Chains A and B, each alone.
Chain A
Amino acid sequence: AQTVTQSQPEMSVQEAETVTLSCTYDTSESDYYLFWYKQPPSRQMILVIRQEAYKQQNATENRFSVNFQKAAKSFSLKISDSQLGDAAMYFCAYRSALHSGGGADGLTFGKGTHLIIQP
């Protein structure tokens, strides 16, 4: 079974600064997807960024980028120019590609990192 580990229960960053959230995972599969989700106090999970394991290029979405190290099974999220609205719980998640072609199957989530933005 796959596992996802987020070793930082809480992180704090000054507004406009850069912060990196860590995530490691364990799998015997070679093809999979990795995600970062944001969960604000509204409780709704929002997709931040997605990475396909077969792509070597790191995904980027505006101020959000990842550092994907497949051999090390590491998938960190970098948030540049942090904004007050970035404050939330951030979850790293894994999905096997074995069921690809059949919808978005079950995700395995880490325990989350609480990100605090200091004004």
Chain B
Amino acid sequence: DAGVTQSPTHLIKTRGQQVTLRCSPKSGHDTVSWYQQALGQGPQFIFQYYEEEERQRGNFPDRFSGHQFPNYSSELNVNALLLGDSALYLCASSTLDRVGGGKLFFGSGTQLSVL
């Protein structure tokens, strides 16, 4: 059973460009969350998608947008890249857990470098 897969693993862009990162959730999962992890920091929540809609959003500007497809896979788009956007971008999947505190499964991330 494949876990959470992310592509690409590494990416280099220049300031002002746009980037798209991709995530396939673990089999059976319907919810995808995205996190940004700057060097030496803990991950920061960007947003979460369920049923193809953004369900919750962290404190990130509108330059960060996303999409979820009918097969539950997801994309993270970042426009007008800044040097400060350089980070590891982690995708996590889960099920809509009525109990709460649901377990997240993380991918290995996409390392984005903005030059």
Contacts and interface: CB of A to CB of B under 8 A. Distances in A.
B107 A111 contact: no
Interface of A: 4, 33, 42-47, 50, 52, 91, 93, 95, 97, 99-112
A50 B106 CA distance: 16
Nearest to A51: B101
A104 B31 contact: yes
B103 A50 contact: yes
Main secondary structure of the interface of B (DSSP, over half): loop
B94 A103 contact: yes
B40 interface: yes
Query: Among B35, B50, B58, B100, which residue has the most Cβ atoms of chain A within 10 A?
Result: B100
A104 B104 contact: yes
B55 A43 contact: no
A67 B101 CA distance: 18
A46 B106 contact: yes
A25 to B, nearest CB: 12
Given A33-B101, A97-B100, A97-B101, A104 B94 contact: yes
Interface size range of chain B in the complex:
20 to 34
A110 B50 CA distance: 26
B33 A44 contact: no
Q: 4 closest pairs, A vs B, by CB?
A: A109-B42, A100-B100, A106-B45, A104-B102
Contact of B109 (A43, A46, A110, A111): A43
A103 B109 contact: no
A103 B42 contact: no
B102 A45 contact: no
A112 B98 CA distance: 29
B101 A107 contact: no
A112 to B, nearest CB: 5
A30 B48 CA distance: 23
B92 A45 contact: yes
B42 A91 contact: yes
A45 B96 CA distance: 20
A101 B44 CA distance: 22
